[in-house]
Structures are given as structure tokens and as C-alpha cells.
């Protein structure tokens, strides 16, 4: 899966995240390596660092990891439905509500990392099961058209976005 989704496979709404995906390499391998990077990054942090917020009202690093877990589950579900040819409009989600409801500040990073790894492994198994002809199937997520392949690229780009924020605002 070294191809990248074409611009007609997704709405401009998703463009900023998809543009963050490297042009080289397999999307599946990028997803796999990114998962290792995230787990290693959070595994190196102390619990004190996990509760750090770079500004009042911003998520702690633990909450940010919780958001990555939530987003992985939701976006993977969208990928599953779209790859199967389901054109049902799939709803968006309020990430702040989900992070608050997940009570991620009550978990240690040591508890959150396995949750992240399990959700990533589940996504990788799903990606490996999708047939070549299904990657261009289109669906609707959050009110916007998107193909299964673009949904996978979106997942990678979304996480790259947050990794960039972590490096720029949390680990300085």
C-alpha cells in the first residue's frame, strides 16, 4: 500500500491532516512504526510528565494519549465501515467530551500505553484484512466524503499532528 489517496478521494476538510503523511513508504508500515514511536515516547515519560499541561485548560499528556486512543477507535471504525462499502453518514465526535468522559487523568501512563497499543494492533489487523479494491470505496465521516484509503491517511496525519504538538509544546 505505497499509494496515497488522490484529492478526489476526500473532502478539503481532511486535507491538513492528510498532507502530513510522508510521501514515501507503505501506509500500513507508517501506521505500524508510528505506533511504536508513540508507545516508546509515552513509555519514557514519568507520571509527573504525564500530568503536565503546557497551558491552563489544555490537556495533560495523559489526556492527549487518551485522545489518541479514542480517535484511533473511532477512525478505525470509520475505516471498517467505509471499506465495506457502507455509505451511512458516520457522525463526528467531540474530542473534549470524550477525553473528559474517559477520565484519562485518573489513569497512569503505564495503564494507558497498553490501551493505546491494543487499539493500534486492532487497527493494523483491520488494515491487513482490507482488499485492494476496497481502498477507494467512499463513505461519509463527520459530514464529509472520504475513501477508505484517505481515512487511513487521515488517521496517520492526525496522530502526526499531535506528535508535533507534543514535541513543540510539551517536551520543550
DSSP calls for 43-96: HTS-HHHHT--SSTTSPPHHHHHHHHHHHHHHHHHHHHHHHTT--PEEP---HH
Report if residue 69 sits inside a domain.
Answer: yes
Report if residue 1 sits inside a domain.
Answer: no
Report if residue 2 sits inside a domain.
Answer: no
pLDDT, one tens digit per residue, over 45-104 is 999 999 999 999 999 999 999 999 999 999 999 999 999 999 999 999 999 999 999 999
pLDDT, one tens digit per residue, over 23-36 is 999 999 999 999 99
What grid cell was written down for 15? 486535507
Whole-number pLDDT of residue 1: 55
**Cα–Cα distance measured from residue 2 to residue 107, given in angstroms and rounded to the nearest whole number:** 37
Report if residue 156 sits inside a domain.
Answer: yes
| Residue 117, domain extent | 7-170
Amino acid at each position: 500500500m505505497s499509494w496515497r489517496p488522490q484529492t478526489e478521494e476526500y473532502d478539503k476538510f481532511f486535507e491538513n491532516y492528510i498532507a502530513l503523511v510522508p510521501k514515501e513508504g507503505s501506509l500500513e508500515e507508517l501506521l505500524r512504526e508510528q505506533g511504536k514511536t508513540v508507545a516508546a515516547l509515552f513509555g519514557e515519560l514519568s507520571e509527573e510528565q504525564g500530568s503536565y499541561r503546557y497551558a491552563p485548560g489544555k490537556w495533560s499528556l495523559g489526556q492527549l494519549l487518551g485522545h489518541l486512543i479514542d480517535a484511533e477507535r473511532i477512525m478505525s471504525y470509520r475505516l471498517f465501515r467505509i471499506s465495506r462499502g457502507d455509505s451511512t453518514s458516520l457522525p463526528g465526535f467531540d474530542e473534549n467530551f470524550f477525553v473528559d468522559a474517559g477520565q484519562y487523568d485518573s489513569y497512569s501512563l503505564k495503564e494507558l500505553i497498553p490501551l493505546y497499543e491494543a487499539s493500534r494492533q486492532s487497527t493494523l489487523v483491520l488494515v491487513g484484512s482490507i482488499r485492494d479494491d476496497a481502498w477507494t470505496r467512499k463513505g461519509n465521516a463527520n459530514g464529509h466524503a472520504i475513501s477508505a484509503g484517505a481515512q487511513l491517511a487521515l488517521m496517520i496525519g492526525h496522530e502526526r499532528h499531535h506528535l508535533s504538538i507534543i514535541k513543540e509544546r510539551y517536551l520543550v
